[in-house]
Structure 1
Amino acid sequence: MKKPTKQTITWRRITENRLFFPIVALTLILLFDFIFIPGFFAIENREGNLHGSLIDIFRNGSTVMILAIGMTLVIATGGVDLSVGATMAIAASVAGILMNPSALKNEVFFVTDPNYTFQPLWLVIIAALAISLICGLWNGVLVAYMRIQPMVATLILMISGRGIAQLITNGLRVQITYKPYAFIGQGWVILPFSLYLVAIVFAITWFITRKTAIGMFIESVGINFRSSYFSGIDEKKIKLLVYTFCGFCAGIAGLVASSNIKTSDANNIGLTTELDAILAVVIGGTSMAGGRFSLLASMVGALVMQAITQSMYAIGVPAFALQAIKAVVVIFVILLYSDQVKGFVRKISAPKKEV
């Protein structure tokens, strides 16, 4: 019997890697862009900063990437967080009202001074992230200690969250002109500044989940929380941790989104982004039933979602038709994860046996 070659074994390992299918999906989308969109891969140097459609995919996808980091840990425990979009709106509203509190007086006051802020930037950021932590903590308590189904528990904040954001801003869109705050979403240091935030959040999360036992605890709870309990793992605290952290990630995403548009819009900030974040995690190979996860694969999944949007806009698809086309592409991508496709890939990558 002939032994399998080293090349065949290596190919099989590649196809079984969680990054394989997300990278294939992203490659197919970029190949479409290369063929049908002239100049899509062009990169320009403007005043020492890099600009182009590829850079825009990373820049515009930064909010979904940050959300996907927190969502990955939640889904890995067998849960889901539908409230991240509403949490983004709440965090953005808190930040906006602290910098321009005129909305509390029921008056529209347009500030044009780029150096004006009612509260210092550090306090604005801390307050916004603190309120997002509280939102995540609320979800964690409902899921872990009240034993409410994750979809129902997070649906509560998803529905009421935008109402809370409206109450904070008194129902007004708060204009934000403070230049240092706008730098969070619009600043450039060779690359968009928001990408550095994504890298920092990713690096910290990866270190905590892969260099400590927390990652193993999360996967264990997702696979079988009862067995984890009898193994000495407090599954309630693990679930509380991941939902709180997911709220924190949503708070960062809210700061990025509101600073990018220079407005705290409680109605539109974070709208439907929870669905993009969930799809990004699923495309990254994390099962909705919980278990093993890959943060890097979720990042690629987020880029897949943004690349679809960017490509559709580039070929002139109107905004009202974008969701329908995105749904078709997402269905195609999800089919790559079917057992039939995976079985076919394993079959063609399996070493041939010779007697």
Structure 2
Amino acid sequence: MVKHHLFWPLIFLGALLVFNFIYSPDFFAIKMRDGHLYGSLIDILNFGSPLMIVSIGMTLVIAATKGVDLSVGSVVAISGAIACLMISNGDGSLVNVIISVGTALLVSLVLGIWNGFLVANIGMQPIIATLILMVSGRGVSQLITSGQIITISNPHYKFIGAGSLLTLPFSIFIVAIVFLIAYLLTRKTALGLFIESVGCKPTASKLAGVKSKTVMFFVYMFCSLCAAIAGLILSSNVSSADGNNAGLWYELDAILAVVIGGTALTGGRFYLAGTLVGALIIQTLTTTIYMIGVPPEITLVVKAFVVLIVCLIQSESFRKSIAFRWKTRHYPAEREVKQHA
């Protein structure tokens, strides 16, 4: 039970929730207002939806390439910028919104193909290949918005990030759909085995007939698509597109979510459910920091420190080292007996 990859993340998530309940007794309160559910837990799920979606895509990239996709934040900004620009220049009809959203998703697939080409065909290291798009993509998003914040007022588009379905935020259902698609593709088909084999032993996989380049293209396309969906949710939630700040540092939070969820950065075996838990931990931690009134200038420091503690506790080698030090300090005689033996 303790060795299960979800044990420590769930323990820490539970501890965060308990702390919030102690600090604010109405933290778990959920109210119905105008046919919609409201409350801190609902807000965590709603505001954490973009990060959960990006983290799902990042999980597959890390598993297959032993690298990361640093461009997801820029893709988030580009996606929102394209959609908002086209809607602002259009007639605001449902058809216009569908075309705008479809265009944003199509562009994200092209960006994923670009990353896959650099990694699979050119042979660049994933961190370098995606760093190129991370830097240039942020500039592209600002070119699309002309360096301004594009503000729109469209109920059809706003529904993506701020709408409700069955009393719950619609973004939660988007996360469920993306997770279900990723789960079915990786656990109910051979694709999951291909991803793990390419990430574990790329040379052996190639000799076994696995098309590693195709797998890499797929994971980068899927990751960019996830980032684009997250960009649509973020921009529709605030009815605007900010090419400079949208999705800023999302890549780092996504990597942390994947690692906290139990997926190793060395590639191979991955855990989609663990990634969702990791994303929830980060969003809950962010909510907690703001709730207790941590000064904005040290928010990131506190967040980094807590995440470091989580990763250390989750590390089996770290726990064994602490246990050994504690045992040798409190039972020195037993250590001497073992040494003489």
- TM-score w.r.t. structure 2 length? 0.91
1:117 CA displacement: 5.3
Q: Which 4+ residue blocks in structure 1 deviate beyond 6 angstroms?
A: 344-347
Is the 1:186–1:259 contact (alpha carbons within 8 Å) kept by the matching residues of 2? yes
Q: Deviations over 1:218-254 (max 9, x none)?
A: 0111111011111111111111110110000000000
Q: CA deviation at 1:25?
A: 1.6
Q: Does 1:147 align with 2:123?
A: yes
Among residues 82, 86, 94, which one is paired with 2:82 in the alignment?
94
- Code of the residue aligned with 2:288 in structure 1: it is S
Identical pairs, percent:
49
Aligned partner of residue 37 in structure 2, secondary structure: strand
Deviates more, 1:335-344 or 1:303-312: 335-344
2:163 to 175, 183, 187: 187
Q: Is the 8 A contact 2:285 2:303 kept in 1?
A: yes
Instruction: Give 1:252's match in structure 2, choosing from 229, 237, 251.
Output: 229
> Hey, what does 2:334 align to over in structure 1?
none
- Which whole-Å CA distance do the structure 2 matches of 1:201 and 1:43 have between them? 26
Partner residue, 2:67: 79
The match for 2:5 is: 18
Distance 1:119 1:346 in 2: 61
State the match for 1:277 in structure 2: 254
Asked if the contact 2:20–2:27 (Cα under 8 Å) also holds between the matched residues in 1, the reply is yes
Aligned twin of 1:105: none
Alignment of 1:106-117 (within 5 A): 116=92
Other structure's SS at 1:316 match = coil
Aligned to 2:143: 167
Query: Is the Cα contact below 8 Å between 1:217 and 1:233 reproduced in 2?
Result: yes
Query: 2:41: which partner in 1?
Result: 54
| 2:223 matches 1:236 | no
Contact 2:83 2:101 (C-alpha < 8 Å) held by counterparts: yes
* Aligned residue among 297, 307, 310 for 2:274: 297
Point out where structure 2 has 5 or more consecutive residues left out of the alignment: 325-341
- For residues 232-280 of structure 1, what are the alpha-carbon distances to aligned partners after superposition, in whole Å with 9 as ceiling and x for unaligned? 1111111111011000000000000000111111011100111111100
AA of the residue aligned to 2:82? V
The DSSP-based 3-state class of the residue aligned with 1:267 is coil
- Note if contact 1:98-1:119 (Cα within 8 Å) is conserved in structure 2: no
- What's the counterpart of residue 134 of structure 1? 110
More helix by share: 2
Q: Secondary structure of 1:16's match?
A: coil
2:336 is matched with none
Q: Which amino acid counterpart does residue 180 of structure 1 have in structure 2?
A: H
In structure 2, relative to structure 1, the CA distance for the partners of 1:212 and 1:92 (3 Å cut) is same
Report 1:203-352 matches (<5 A).
203-343=180-320
Letter in 2 for 1:174: I
SS at the partner of 2:314?
coil
Q: CA RMSD in A?
A: 1.8
* 1:62-87 deviation digits (Å, cap 9, x = unpaired): 00000011000001111210000000
Superimposed CA distance per residue, residues 61-120 of structure 1 (whole angstroms, 9 cap, x where no aligned partner): 000000011000001111210000000111111101101139xxxxxxxxxxxx835961
Q: Residue 16 of structure 2 is aligned with which of 29, 34, 39? A: 29
Q: Quote how far apart the aligned CAs of 1:147 are.
A: 0.5
Secondary structure, counterpart of 2:147 in structure 1: coil
**Alpha-carbon distance in 2 for matches of 1:130, 1:239:** 18
Letter in 2 for 1:74: V
- State the SS of the aligned residue for 2:29: coil
1:272-292 per-position Cα deviation (integer Å, ceiling 9, x unaligned):
111111100000010001011
Secondary structure in 2 aligned to 1:291? coil
